[in-house]
Chain A
């Protein structure tokens, strides 16, 4: 913007203070003019004339500054007169006079910036969490009841939808689950070998790998990847259907959304997650065995025989048995959060984030619970 020049010249004409506003009263010059006008401090009851004859250009900010000066000085008891207003600027002054306000509404201060506000927020969040848990349990019950009804009338199960979901959540996830499990196997084998070599116990790298991957990491990694990949997809799909009122349309057509949308997703994930876990176990061991050969020179047959010594099939099953539970957590939360979407686009994003965070959190909590449970059972 070209340097706009605006001036305010004060002169005295037989006891009247004359303020001559000249030049370009625009946003660009407003900060300086604002300062000048605020410095005005005429003696009380002195008449004031604001001479607008010298204005070249003026925008609403400039007009506001002049009108504000008029209002404030009048409020102080100085009679104010606006002079020589160019008729082309008159409509602007009219409009600004109608729209302006001397005391703008204050910006709301976020209430969590105060201690009480913080405590109130903490309380509200806690209560919200309890309420959500309660509703989630209610949803769980609803889904269970629907599944019961379906076992009585298995013909109503939507097989096509279920198979499509199995492809989405299972087959399409093979590449990412496999690659990540393989890399985790490589990392564990390398770190294990590095530590165990100091004790001359390199061969126990295989035990570390087998127990670590089969019991915990295979299923946990898979569940976390699937929570991020499919749990979020469930929320986004169902949530989008809520935004576009498809769910409401479904209800008016006599379809049960839980039966149509939730059950196929839940059953699909219940079936695919254990299979993906087995596959992840395999890929993890493969990665580990390659690393063991490279770093420790443990050949493949040697690796296999040590593997057979280290773990039985029970270790494998201890891992895999957790998968359906994790699958239920992921599918339930994914679908539930989808139904919680209100009719706006931003709420789809919010609920999707929430679904992933909750699912991963609960999967890890459940895994810890399984560890305690198994140690009590001494398996």
Chain B
């Protein structure tokens, strides 16, 4: 069903080592993300999923290794060059990380103001557009983050992440804390936006349903390294943690639901 991703790495991590004190979280991790794909990153608690994301976007400096995004070595860049790269990606943090003293519209306008000199009216229109794209009602623009529910806050965070029309979208646990219906809607939203805006999505997740619903490929953090493949390849992997994860009760339920949906889709035209 899903188009095969073009084989051209947009993010490439090599030999990544991350240490916190005596604890090694990543040890020689290699990962490539291709343009236009949705990559889901999973792993047990404490395996460094979020650390990996933070390392790629530059919030955490690795002990060793190289990180290339858009073919540029990020760790070797000067501050000003980094900012040019940062404009080309958007990040959705776990709790949205909206600026609490600003309204949703103002939150979205922060990066616009920072990087571009746009007239006020156009800026408000762009903010309204992103709010619409993220699936929020129009009147959310004037609300403060504290007035939003958890699900709406994530959508507002997504709208801010989309403010500069990024090429890569980093999502940290986008569906955590959402109920099953809201989570499924969020998955669909990400899939829609990814296809219409031509995004590459790097998604750290806990949510096995999200993996089945939106991811082209899955990366599993095990043994301080990463195993990447399409969902089918990963499902056949016989690493004990991966087997447990995908073939435990929840994994079976999610794959059964997915298989059911696929059967329905197949039987529909007939």
Contacts and interface: CB of A to CB of B under 8 A. Distances in A.
A104 B119 CA distance: 14
Given A28-B116, A95-B196, A98-B132, A106 B122 contact: no
B64 interface: no
Interface string A52-69: 000000011100110010
Contacts of A65: 122
Interface in B99-147: 100, 103, 105-106, 112, 115-119, 122, 124-133, 138-139, 141-142
B116 A104 contact: no
B119 A31 contact: yes
B117 A31 contact: yes
A346 B95 CA distance: 14
Interface of A: 1, 26-28, 30-31, 34-35, 59-61, 64-65, 68, 91-92, 94-96, 98-102, 104-108, 346
A28 B162 CA distance: 15
B142 to A, nearest CB: 5
A107 B105 contact: yes
Contacts of B112: 27
Contacts of B141: 104-105, 107
B161 to A, nearest CB: 13
Given A99-B129, A100-B132, A107-B105, 10 more contacts: A27-B126, A31-B116, A31-B122, A60-B130, A61-B129, A95-B133, A99-B131, A102-B125, A105-B138, A107-B103
Contact of B103 (A60, A91, A108): A108
A364 B186 CA distance: 55
Interface of B: 84, 87, 100, 103, 105-106, 112, 115-119, 122, 124-133, 138-139, 141-142, 162, 164-165, 192-193, 195-198
A28 B197 CA distance: 17
Contacts of B115: 27
Nearest to B135: A99
Contacts of B126: 27, 30, 60-61, 64
Nearest to A63: B129
A30 B122 contact: yes
B165 A60 contact: yes
B108 to A, nearest CB: 11
Contact of A60 (B84, B117, B129, B142): B129
Contacts of B106: 107
Given A105-B105, A107-B142, A30 B116 contact: yes
Contacts of A106: 142
A294 B139 CA distance: 71
A105 B164 CA distance: 20
B130 to A, nearest CB: 8
Nearest to A100: B129
A27 B116 contact: yes
Nearest to A60: B165
Contacts of A107: 103, 105-106, 124, 141-142
Nearest to B193: A95
Contacts of A100: 125, 128-129, 132
A104 B103 contact: no
A101 B192 CA distance: 19
A108 B144 CA distance: 10
A104 B193 contact: no
Nearest to B192: A95
20 contacts: A26-B165, A27-B112, A27-B118, A27-B165, A60-B133, A60-B165, A61-B126, A64-B129, A68-B125, A92-B197, A95-B193, A95-B197, A96-B133, A98-B132, A104-B127, A105-B105, A105-B138, A107-B103, A107-B105, A108-B142
Given A30-B122, A31-B122, A34-B118, A101 B132 contact: yes
A91 B196 CA distance: 5
B110 to A, nearest CB: 13
A65 B118 CA distance: 13
A1 B80 CA distance: 12
The 6 closest A-B pairs by CB, nearest first: A99-B132, A104-B128, A91-B196, A59-B165, A95-B196, A99-B133
B171 to A, nearest CB: 18
Q: Most chain-B Cβ atoms within 10 A of its Cβ — which of A35, A91, A101, A104?
A: A104
A34 B103 CA distance: 24
Given A95-B133, A101-B125, A104-B105, A1 B165 contact: no
